[in-house]
Amino acid sequence: MTVIEFKDFKWHYFEREEHDLQGVNLKIKKGEFVGLLGPSGSGKTAFCYSIMGVVPHLSQGRVKGGKVIIDGLDTQDSSIGELSSRVGIIMQSPKSQLTGAGLTIEEEVAFGLENTGVPRSEMGKRIKSVLKRVGLYELRKRSPFEVSGGQMQKVGIASVLVLEPKILILDEPTGYLDPGGTEAVFSLVKKLNNQGKTIIIVTHKLEYLARYADRIILFNNGRVVRDGSPQEILSDTKLLKRNKIDPLPVTLLGEALKKKRKWKQELPITVKEAVEGLRKVVK
Ligand SMILES: Nc1ncnc2c1ncn2[C@@H]1O[C@H](COP(=O)(O)OP(=O)(O)O)[C@@H](O)[C@H]1O
Ligand SMILES: [Mg+2]
């Protein structure tokens, strides 16, 4: 089932000369885990905003053509409110996402539910279940500002999840996190994906996309340059370099061995594949 569809969508920020999304065409199915790659300024955030209706409703610019359909709703004819029950977004800075309205993590997560018409009795249940799902239940009485970056990002995720969106967008969610926080966020996101959520994640951390994504969409200049499996995209070192992305060290290792005719199989994108390939090389 298609939950996101871009039909030749073109978007232009007023201040810019060029279009920022230049005719994007693609479909994303329910339950897919999609990674977005591309150099800075290539349109990744504009793409995410177009899914949740920030483009066109809250951004200074104009739709120059095409449509975006989210779970059956045309974003241009729908309000941000309607879309927000289907799509939730988590941004790079965990702190800036906190409303500060709640003294505790529990209150912070509750805040998003306040104006949604969910009955009080139901609210408590939902909050408890979401806090358990993201692993914050034990910390629920703590201040959201006094936990680690990874945990703070989980508060952001919980605040979005409590609204029960089908689609979760994460725009560089681990940009400010240390390796432990990054791992925690990615494994939580994968768990949510296994439970059926559609995931769209912008990240430069290729090693996590190699492990978790079903599909990678590479953007440049507001266009989809390539759309394929992690293996297809991450092993194409020329494509990555052309688009200002550093290939993974394990892939470069395989490539170096291939030049010496020692590597016969597909280039590795994970440490596991590199180890398996190296066994054949040293045999
Ligand atoms: N609010 C805005 N007003 C004008 N131009 C913008 C605005 N936001 C982004 N842009 C421009 O749109 C292009 C795409 O930006 P963006 O989607 O943020 O790229 P990315 O997320 O890939 O770094 C960039 O050239 C950027 O400078
Ligand atoms: Mg961005």
In the chain, what are the domains? Answer: 2-229 (3.40.50.300)
Q: What Rg do the C-alpha atoms of the chain give, in angstroms? A: 20
What is the percentage of the chain residues whose pLDDT exceeds 90? 86
Task: Name the residue type at position 164.
Answer: E
pLDDT of residue 67: 98
Ligand 1 atom closest to Cα of residue 38 = 22
pLDDT of residue 166: 95
CA gap 269, 33 in Å, rounded: 17
Cis peptide, bond prior to residue 56, ω within 30 of zero: yes
pLDDT of residue 157: 93
CA gap 243, 38 in Å, rounded: 7
pLDDT tens string 228-255: 999 999 999 999 999 999 999 999 999 9
Statement: residue 117 has pLDDT above 90: no
What is the percentage of the chain residues whose pLDDT exceeds 70? 100
pTM across the whole model: 0.94
Q: Which two tokens stand for residue 7?
A: 């039909």
- Testing ligand 1's pocket by substitution, the residue of 12, 45, 221, 225 carrying the most ligand atoms inside 8 A of its CB is 45
Q: Which residues contact 129 (CB under 8 A, 6 or more apart)?
A: none
